Amino acid sequence: MKSGNLGYPRIGQDREWKKALEAYWAGKSDEATLHATLKSIRLDNLKKQRDQGIDVIPVGDFTYYDHILDTSAMFGIVPERFGYAGGEVDLPTYYAVARGSRDSAASEMTKWFNTNYHYIVPELGAGASPQLTVNRPLEAYREAKAALGIEGRPVIVGPYTYLKLSKGYAAAELDGWIDRLLPLYAQALRELEAEGVEWVQVDEPILATSLTEDDLSRVRRIYETLTSEASGIRIMLQTYFESVDAYGFVVSLPVHGIGLDFVHDGGRNLAAVREQGFPADKTLGAGLIDGRGIWKADLRGKWATLAALRGAVSADRILVQPSSSLLHVPVSAERETALPAELRGALAFADEKLAELALLAKAGREGVEAIAAELEAADRSRDALQRSAARTNERVRARMASLASEPAARSNVFEARRAVQDAKWQLPPLPTTTIGSFPQTPEVRGARQKWRKGEWSPAQYESFIQAQIREWIDIQNEIGLDVLVHGEFERTDMVEFFGEKLAGFAFTAKGWVQSYGSRCVKPPVIYGDVELPEPMTVAETVYAQSLTSKPVKGMLTGPITILNWSFVRDDKTREEVAYQIALALRDEVEALEAAGIGMIQVDEPALREGLPLKRDQWAHYLDWAVRAFRLSTSTVKDETQIHTHMCYSEFHDIIESISALDADVISIETSRSHGELIGIFEEHTYDKGIGLGVYDIHSPRVPSADEMTQMIDRALRVLDPGLFWINPDCGLKTRGRAETVESLRHMVEATEAARSRYAVKQA
């Protein structure tokens, strides 16, 4: 029995990867420096895995931005607007697709299955002529072997997952695209085979979703072709994130190994193996260690699962793996020395998970007695956390016990609230606002560091934050925005900030994970019972409101986003933890209202990403997610206007649930989809306030007023102008000051033009 890995975090222990990318983008380093820095990180990652005793080490999982974008570049699939003329995709073009350029909008970015990682959506235009521009897995294999003597297992995104995650083609064209890509995949595999590669990992997480018979037929055709075209190489067909519904079909595919998730499968994969068996001619990649969570494994429980698998699969055909790539967890828990002892002892990041994999494989070879001491240590660590005072909060327990009696609906319907709010606020048609944050400059980040290190007193830091708020209130007033925000200068991350102020949360020193591109986040750790000790946002919001006669929105992150963007305790259901967070946020909403803040935004950008991969499980998740939001927001007066914000991600699937949130105004990211979201509202009526983002904040490009005008005009063809708001598509934290001001000026200019046309139509 051997141990294997599926992928390792790209970012480096101290986010060296992020810093290298951003230095290159800023013109502070050249291409040669970027290549050298990333190669050093890449090789260090491989050495770590080797030194931890991992037998099968993946190569080719590393990226310069995103692994789906890498696949597109490998096959020369570049949108026409970037002027690509064939051949290997150079770095400027690669990054232009990801981030946009002066003349061309970036490709759409959306969530990777039900994770918080974002990938660049491939655009399969009619004129695209895919080709194998460069064999990236082969390059990675050669590098690992030459530099470190590692016989790695190349990783490639499977053709069906790639195509199902792509856009730009009609459903009837899917088979044609399979025909265009299959020869290229076969060529890549043959080149690997010629190099002497024994195994290749082909990632097909799409197999863990709900697929039709037509889908399965296409998958069979793909793998019959690939194993025929490259018969000398062994394919490990890797699934993850859930169980595979069509287990019998998947294990019958003509490949040499099947990777299954035995962590997030709800026990279904294990039951299928036990009931239906496993082919005697295949290797089982047993995903036993959680690739997405940060808790030390219950090694006894994992050994029991492994023992059950050994009843159906011989030990020499089992490869002990994580449930998915370790991309989704931080690098190492070694330096988390400031955490409470009971919490620190229960953590396992990527490096610690590698050690757990090696231990389980050792037990599989030598017997469980060989790891008896480690089993006892793991038991002690988990028990110590469970006995922690943070998990025995009687106030939270009492509140949760009376949850059924807590109000989860506003006292009046939207139309009645709208009349009261319109009378109070007297906003112009098509009111303008922003999503919440303004640029976090080096000065802002530097001030926060001085305060955290004790170099500044709390009074000095508060004075600095107030100066930033005052400056940006003035800027918003001068630009002509109608509803203002305080700018969130005191906040690091939109979840981390709240977690730092809520009981039951903890924060790591180096617990960074990649969200998209170079954007790394440090998710809070929800390890105890959640409650609000004191108000979190009232002081800054009230100060901002004191500086202007225009309304200033209170800005909160919603319970589902806090849940989905945190590492969550594994001793309670996610639903129960969501309700704890919701009740704590309700206390903050009520505190803001009591302080005179009459517009409160409770953002839920991660609502959809929490959807189970199985459609038959969606209704249950959406029911409790909507209830959690409404628990947070339903006790305010009719005149208090509740806003929310979501990021673009196939909203047609959940439009009814979005409406059920019963927010007075929702803003939705739409610019990266090039207005496609507007089509949803041609099919579905939305009867509450809505703002479709009119420009992309993920790109440094400043769009013209004319571009925004076109977006506004498209939206007003299908949405009620009386309910329409105008805003950027997301927060402006990552943007520069000059581009932010210029873009907002263009947005107001476009709004004024639209108001003129709207007024003419109403006359």
Residues with active-site annotation: 698
> Is 247 within 8 Å of 265 (Cβ atoms)?
no
Element (DSSP H or E) covering residue 504 = strand 503-506
How many helices (DSSP H) and strands (DSSP E) are in the chain? 27, 21
Q: Are strands 513-516 and 503-506 parallel, antiparallel or unpaired?
A: unpaired
Listed in sequence order, the residues at least 6 apart from 742 whose beta carbon sits closer than 8 Å to its beta carbon are 702
The strand pairing partners of 599, in sequence order, are: 641
**Under a CB-based contact definition with an 8 Å cutoff, are residues 400 and 579 in contact?**
yes
Rounded CA-CA distance 588/255 in Å is 54
Residue 435 assigned as binding residue: yes
- Contact (Cβ atoms closer than 8 angstroms) between residue 531 and residue 393: yes
Q: What is the distance between the alpha carbons of residues 709 and 714, in angstroms, rounded to a whole number?
A: 9
- Alpha-carbon distance 419 to 340, whole Å? 51
684 belongs to an annotated ligand binding site: no
CA–CA dist 686, 670 (Å, integer): 16
Say which residues have a Cβ less than 8 Å from residue 571's Cβ, sequence separation at least 6.
386, 391
Any known ligand binding at 488? yes
609 is in an annotated binding site: yes
What letter represents residue 161's amino acid?
Answer: T
In this structure, what is the dihedral angle of CA atoms 186, 189, 193, 199, given to the nearest 10 degrees? Answer: -130
Q: Where are the beta strands (DSSP E) in 115-212?
A: 118-120, 153-157, 199-203
How far, in Å, are 160, 391, 584, 632, 716 from residue 504 at the CA level?
Answer: 41, 8, 11, 18, 44
Beta carbons of 321 and 356 less than 8 angstroms apart: no
- What is each CA distance from 41 to 35, 37, 67, 152, 154, in whole angstroms? 10, 6, 16, 16, 17
The answer to whether the annotation marks 16 as part of a ligand binding site is yes
Is 645 within any annotated ligand binding site? yes
Residue 288 phi, psi dihedral angles, 5° rounding: -100, -30
Whether 647 has a binding-site annotation, put simply, is: yes
Instruction: List, as one string, the DSSP characters of 581-598.
Output: HHHHHHHHHHHHHHTT--
Q: How far apart are CA 286 and CA 312, in angstroms?
A: 12
Tell the residue number behind the tokens 């929490």, with chain if given: 610
Residue 111 counted as an annotated binding residue:
yes
Ligand-binding annotation for 116, yes or no, is yes
**603 assigned binding-site residue:** yes
DSSP run (H or E) holding 745: helix 737-762
What does the DSSP 8-state code read for residue 127? T
Nearest to 495, CA basis, from 473, 521, 519: 521
Q: What one-letter code names the amino acid at 317? A: R
User: Is 353:291 a contact under the CB 8 Å cutoff?
Assistant: yes
Rounded CA separation 301/291 (Å): 16
190 is in an annotated binding site: no
- Annotated ligand binding at 519? The verdict is yes
Distance CA 540, CA 529 (A): 26
What DSSP element (H or E) covers 235?
A: strand 234-238
Rounded Cα gap, residues 598 and 638, in angstroms: 10
Distances (CA, A) of 46 to 14, 19, 467, 510: 17, 20, 47, 20
Name the burial class of residue 248, with classes exposed (0-12), middle (13-18) and buried (19+) by CB atoms within 10 angstroms of its CB. Answer: exposed
> Contact 78/89 with Cβ under 8 angstroms?
yes
* Longest distance between any two alpha carbons in the chain, whole Å: 84
Distance CA 655, CA 248 (A): 34
DSSP letter at 618 equals H
How far is the C-alpha of 398 from the C-alpha of 377, rounded, in Å?
33
Q: Is 520 annotated as a binding residue?
A: yes
Residue 113, both tokens: 């299955």
Measure the CA–CA gap between 487 and 439, rounded to whole angstroms: 8
Query: Is 522 among the annotated ligand-binding positions?
Result: no
The answer to whether the annotation marks 669 as part of a ligand binding site is yes
State the binding site for L-methionine: 435-437, 488, 603
State the binding site for L-homocysteine: 435-437, 488, 603
State the binding site for 5-methyltetrahydropteroyltri-L-glutamate: 15-18, 111, 116, 519-520, 565, 609
State the binding site for Zn(2+): 645, 647, 669, 730
State the binding site: 15-18, 111, 116, 435-437, 488, 519-520, 565, 603, 609, 645, 647, 669, 730
